[in-house]
Amino acid sequence: MTTSGVATLGGGCFWCLEAVYEQMRGVVSVESGYSGGRTDDPSYESVCSGVTGHAEVVQVRFDPSVAGYRDVLEVFFGIHDPTTKDRQGSDIGTQYRSAIFTHGEEQASTARELIAHLEAEGVFADPIVTEVQPLERFWPAEDYHRRYYRRNPAQPYCVMVVGPKVGRFRERFGRLLRDPGELSPGG
């Protein structure tokens, strides 16, 4: 698959983003990880400390013939608050910032155009603070983060935070919802 079929996004806790994108039509795989910082081979603990500069991100691989990069970004802006700097709900810190790490100038242009469109339409009451910057490196998260929501749906954070975001995606983006019989990424 070409780089046009990869998006790297930070929008708060990566468990939320992963759970949503696993349900999106055209998504081939979703991997949680870290990007945008200055520390090599970061761990969850070091990223949570706020000293690495990394954001929690997901790397979404998608089939552009089914769902395009703009579709991936529209979902991204529809499921998190891009107007709060270094915060998503009660998750506070630079690791929870809203960020789009682009894979080339075409993605950067698409991201900036969509942000300008959302601003012009007044979709959000406050200005969008989402960073748009080239991806330098993606560091995969530890194995225990993979498919976290699917494995832990009754965990309190999943019930109170992840579940509602998944519900919002299902409600707002029905046209992009995976068919019931279609396998999600990771089986």
On the 0-12 / 13-18 / 19+ scale of CB atoms within 10 A, 86 is middle
Residue in 13, 16, 48, 158 annotated catalytic? 13
pTM of the shown model:
0.92
On the 0-12 / 13-18 / 19+ scale of CB atoms within 10 A, 83 is middle
> How many separate helices (H) and strands (E) can be counted in the chain?
7, 8
pLDDT at 2 > cutoff 80: no
Q: What is the pLDDT of residues 150-167, one digit of tens each?
A: 999 999 999 999 999 999
Q: Measuring CA to CA, how many Å separate 28 from each of 53, 132, 141, 155, 165?
A: 28, 23, 18, 26, 20
Average pLDDT over residues 6-12: 96
Could you give the angle at which helices 69-79 and 163-172 cross, rounded to 10 degrees?
A: 130
Q: Round the average pLDDT of the chain to a whole number and report it.
A: 93
Going by C-alpha positions, the residue among 106, 19, 4 that lies closest to residue 58 is 19
CA angle 71, 185, 168 (to 5 degrees): 50
13 is catalytic: yes
Top pLDDT among 139 and 179 is at 139
